[in-house]
Structure 1
Amino acid sequence: MSEVPSRVSGMVERRGTAAPETHSVVRTEEWDEGAGEEKRHERVAFVDLDLCETTLQAVEFQECTFRDVRFNCSAQTDVAYVNCTFVNCSFFDATFTRCKLVGSMFDRCTYDIMTVEDGDWSFVGLRGAALGTATFTGVRMREADLTGARCQGATFRGVDLSGASLQRADFTRADLRGTDLSALDPATTEMRHAIITADQAVVVAMALGLDVRPG
């Protein structure tokens, strides 16, 4: 790995805090020469890396930055991206199974037909993300920032969105069955034709200020 300046320019910020500094850089050449075999990476900048169709399992990335990285068609299982930053990355048809992305931030990324099953995505930053073709199932996304996220037609089944920021998010036609909607404000979140259960309908009605009583 080669040395890089301690601060990579153009970083997104997480809840008012600048992204962690990185101390080294890895590109496709370094990855293929051995960096890809390491099981733990801390404060590394991965730049213009091609991880298309790659299989990753039980790898930990701590406070790393991924810039212009292609995760297309990758299969990731039990991988941890803790407090990481993703800038202009592509996740076309990528699959995440039981992965941990706590505190990670996404900026100008694409997520076409991305699939996420189980795992912990709490405190992630997905402001304005286009998630309309993405599928999240059984994922913990407590206090995630989905402000302005475009989730028309997306699938969020059995997702824990408690405490999430959902202002101006659009869940039109989304499948939200079994998802915690306690943080949702129908006055600021679009939900036309979304699919929910009867129990969830009661939660939404109460959020609208309705007095729900038994018949």
Structure 2
Amino acid sequence: MLELGEYEREDFSGERFDGDYTGVKCTGCRFDAADLSDGHFHACRFSDCTFGAAKLGGTRFSDCAFLNCKFRFAELFATDFITCKMTGSSFLDAQITCLTIDGGDWSYTELRGIDFARMRLENIDFEGADFGPASFRKAVVRDCNLTNANLSCADFSGADLRGTALSGTDILSMNLKGAKVDLEGCVVIASALGAQYTP
């Protein structure tokens, strides 16, 4: 059972957390195979924690921080991350469906294999994140920071990228057919093609 307070190197593997939790701080803790389904977490902080094969169906995290955490093989269905700080966390091999990300800092995260098609992503910092050849087909990616993100061979066909920073990405490898971009995006694309914007 998690109560308000700080936990260090505790093993919560296999336990169930389906209540409301506020202000909990965990460092180096294990939540492997834990069941967090339908739990509500607010203003909690997890540093260097593992959530291997954990169940997070219907879980809601608001104003939480996950720093260098690992979610390998975790099951995330209809999971909400509301203005969370996820810096350095990895979702490699996680099973993700109907994910909601509302704002927050997702810089330098490992997000390979996640399908972002038709998702709405706004006001999110993804600087340096590793997406690999992810699909953002017909997604709304507005006012986000994708600077220096790994988006090699990513599919943005039909996506709305207005207000999103794309500098430092591999523009030439992306599928941008039918994507909506603003003037700044046009300049970045033109530069990648060797052209120079002149007003």
Tell me the TM-score normalized by structure 2: 0.85
Deviation at 1:23? 4.5
Structure 2 residue identity aligned to 1:26: F
> What are the residue-to-residue correspondences of 1:118-157 with 2, within 5 Å?
118-157=103-142
Q: Distance in 2 between matches of 1:153 and 1:72?
A: 25
Structure 1 residue identity aligned to 2:12: V
Partner of 1:6: none
Q: Which runs of 5+ in 1 are unaligned?
A: 2-21
Q: Distance in 2 between matches of 1:96 and 1:29?
A: 21
Partner of 1:192: 177
Deviates more, 1:178-187 or 1:99-108: 178-187
Change over 3 Å in CA distance of 1:94–1:29 after alignment to 2: closer
Change over 3 Å in CA distance of 1:154–1:92 after alignment to 2: farther
Q: Distance in 2 between matches of 1:98 and 1:149?
A: 22
1:202 to 169, 175, 187: 187
Structure 2 residue identity aligned to 1:49: A
The answer to whether structure 1 residue 60 and structure 2 residue 54 are counterparts is: no
Deviations 1:71-121 (A, max 9, x none): 222221111100001111232222211100001111112332322122111
2:61 to 62, 76, 81: 76
Deviations 1:100-153 (A, max 9, x none): 000111111233232212211111111232222433210111111112222223
Change over 3 Å in CA distance of 1:82–1:160 after alignment to 2: same
Structure 1 residue identity aligned to 2:153: R
Specify the SS of the correspondent of 2:187. helix
The answer to whether structure 1 residue 97 and structure 2 residue 82 are counterparts is: yes
Structure 1 residue identity aligned to 2:151: L
Does the 8 Å contact 1:151/1:174 carry over to 2? yes
Report how many aligned residue pairs link the two structures.
192
Partner of 1:9: none
Superposed CA RMSD in Å reads 2.4
Change over 3 Å in CA distance of 1:90–1:155 after alignment to 2: farther
Partner of 2:27: 42
Specify the SS of the correspondent of 2:26. strand
Q: Distance in 1 between matches of 2:88 and 2:42?
A: 20
Does the 8 Å contact 2:22/2:41 carry over to 1? no
Does the 8 Å contact 1:74/1:93 carry over to 2? yes
Identity %: 31
Partner of 2:149: 164
Change over 3 Å in CA distance of 1:92–1:176 after alignment to 2: farther
Does the 8 Å contact 1:112/1:131 carry over to 2? no
Does the 8 Å contact 1:112/1:134 carry over to 2? no
Q: Distance in 2 between matches of 1:91 and 1:171?
A: 23
Does the 8 Å contact 1:157/1:175 carry over to 2? yes
Q: Which runs of 5+ in 2 are unaligned?
A: 2-7
The answer to whether structure 1 residue 25 and structure 2 residue 23 are counterparts is: no
Change over 3 Å in CA distance of 1:51–1:128 after alignment to 2: same
